[in-house]
């Protein structure tokens, strides 16, 4: 069975200092959650607040989804990716 994936990715702003979280939907659309000073802050938002953000939009936060970080540049990104891989064996964050 094919499950839709929602991808959360911490990304650096191109023309200003700071970070945002890009949300990639299965249909190809993207949303941006702005306002993060550091990559770690954006990654913590993904880890702790992404489920509530999905729920506020009427999306079941327990759908299979992926969490990504740019090239796993930081230790926090590597920790987040490792937790995502091990959480319930399905790549979900709880």
CA-CA-CA-CA torsion for 84, 89, 93, 94, nearest 10 degrees? -140
pTM of the model: 0.65
Domain definitions of the chain by residue range: 7-87
Q: What is the pLDDT of residue 84?
A: 54
* CA neighbor of 8 nearest in space, from 86, 74, 63: 63
Angle between helices 75-86 and 39-56 (to 10 degrees): 40
pLDDT at 3: 32
Over residues 19-42, the pLDDT tens digits come to 999 999 989 999 999 999 999 999
């Amino acid at each position: 069975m094919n499950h839709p994936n929602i991808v959360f990715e911490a990304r650096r702003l191109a023309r200003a200092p700071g970070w945002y979280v890009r949300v990639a939907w299965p249909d190809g659309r993207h949303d941006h959650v702005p306002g993060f000073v550091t990559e770690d802050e954006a990654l913590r938002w993904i880890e702790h607040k992404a489920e509530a953000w999905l729920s506020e939009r009427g999306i079941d936060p327990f759908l299979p989804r992926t969490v990504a970080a740019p090239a796993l540049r930081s230790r926090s990104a590597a920790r987040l990716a490792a937790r995502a891989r091990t959480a319930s064996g399905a790549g979900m964050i709880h």
